[in-house]
């Protein structure tokens, strides 16, 4: 099993879904984890379920002062910071002709601005001279939608393509400037979390598929591994990228999609 003993991790959007699974898997691998989310009650419960060496911090990823406070709190609670998982995200389904500017702005803010601010403040904290100061790992959660064209998720897909490109430039800067921080992303396939199940329901409601089950069947049909993804599939990939087993993996987008995006 991958050993992350002594590593200190912050997981955004950790109150439910993939983030909850990632926090749990990092903790089981030995890391001490701070769960960060706008959902305080759920996030605190997840942290409590992980055990006493783990914690919760309120974080709105779109707000820079919230990031400053969260990184300060996490480094204080954990005694440093080695791993940031920028997992918080939102998907609002819409055909292009029905796009709502407020929904577009929300997705841009949470998915792109949130990831950028998180990476900025992780760099400031983890780079030499920062409050944590010993380098580390940033893992951004993009999506298979950054690599394929699935209908009714145009803006969401655009935000995840942005996360993918941002990841690569951030990895390059970190390397060139001697920060000692690897930056990678994963591209999850469809996982039936609240978001994933919601997407299947939405595309059926729009009329693109006869039912949510038909939408899921279409996704599985595009997937060589022949099934949907699981929370565990995504969490395992995050643990791997966070570990020293991935020490020469930098600036990549790792598909964790059963081959759907190839
Ligand atoms: N589920 C899928 O099929 C799938 C596929 C590909 C990529 N992803 C990506 O994986 C990530 C997690 O998705 P999920 O399925 O667990 O979604 P989810 O909706 O179940 O959970 C998202 C979490 O993010 C939190 N969040 C939302 N806005 C926030 C903000 N401003 N600040 C802090 N936290 C905030 C929510 O409170 C929630 O806990 C997202 O980035 C998503 O885009 C999911």
- The rounded percent of the chain whose pLDDT value lies above 90 is 99
Q: Rounded mean pLDDT of 149-173?
A: 98
Is this model's pTM higher than 0.85 or not? yes
Strand partners, 253: 185
Ligand 1 centroid to 115 CA: how many Å? 12
Token readout for 96 is 């292009």
Find out whether the beta carbon of 185 lies less than 6 Å from any atom of ligand 1. no
Is the per-residue pLDDT at 1 higher than 80?
no
Summarize pLDDT for 203-235 with one digit per residue, the tens: 999 999 999 999 999 999 999 999 999 999 999
Summarize pLDDT for 19-30 with one digit per residue, the tens: 999 999 999 999
Per-position DSSP letters for 67-121, written without gaps between them = HHHHHHHHHHHHTS--EEEE-------B-GGG--HHHHHHHIIIIIIHHHHHHHH
Q: Mean pLDDT score of the chain, rounded to an integer? A: 98
Summarize pLDDT for 54-77 with one digit per residue, the tens: 999 999 999 999 999 999 999 999
Token readout for 123 is 């760099």
Q: Are the C-beta atoms of 116 and 163 separated by less than 8 Å? A: no
Ligand 1 centroid to 90 CA: how many Å? 5
Find out whether the beta carbon of 19 lies less than 6 Å from any atom of ligand 1. yes
Find out whether the beta carbon of 27 lies less than 6 Å from any atom of ligand 1. no
Summarize pLDDT for 102-138 with one digit per residue, the tens: 999 999 999 999 999 999 999 999 999 999 999 999 9
């Amino acid at each position: 099993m991958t050993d992350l003993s002594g590593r200190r991790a912050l997981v955004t959007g950790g109150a439910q879904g993939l983030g909850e699974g990632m926090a749990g898997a990092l903790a089981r691998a030995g890391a001490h984890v701070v769960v960060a989310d706008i959902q305080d009650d759920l996030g605190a419960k997840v942290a409590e379920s992980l055990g006493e060496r783990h914690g919760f911090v309120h974080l709105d990823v779109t707000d820079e002062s919230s990031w400053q406070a969260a990184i300060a709190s996490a480094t204080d609670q954990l005694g440093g910071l080695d791993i940031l998982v920028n997992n918080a995200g939102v998907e609002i389904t819409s055909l292009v002709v029905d796009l709502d500017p407020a929904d577009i702005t929300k997705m841009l803010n949470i998915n792109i601005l949130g990831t950028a601010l998180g990476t900025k403040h992780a760099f400031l904290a983890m780079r030499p001279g920062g409050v944590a100061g010993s380098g580390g790992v940033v893992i951004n959660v993009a999506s298979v939608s950054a690599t394929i064209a699935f209908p009714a998720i145009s803006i969401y897909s655009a935000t995840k393509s942005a996360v993918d490109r941002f990841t690569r430039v951030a990895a390059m800067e970190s390397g060139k400037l001697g920060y000692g921080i690897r930056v990678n992303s994963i591209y999850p396939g469809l996982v039936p979390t609240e978001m994933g199940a919601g997407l299947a329901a939405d595309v059926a409601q729009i009329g693109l598929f006869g039912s949510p089950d038909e939408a899921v069947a279409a996704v599985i049909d595009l997937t060589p591994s022949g099934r949907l993804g699981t929370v565990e599939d995504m969490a395992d990939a995050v643990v791997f990228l966070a570990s020293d087993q991935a020490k020469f993996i930098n600036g990549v987008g790792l598909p964790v999609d059963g081959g759907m995006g190839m």
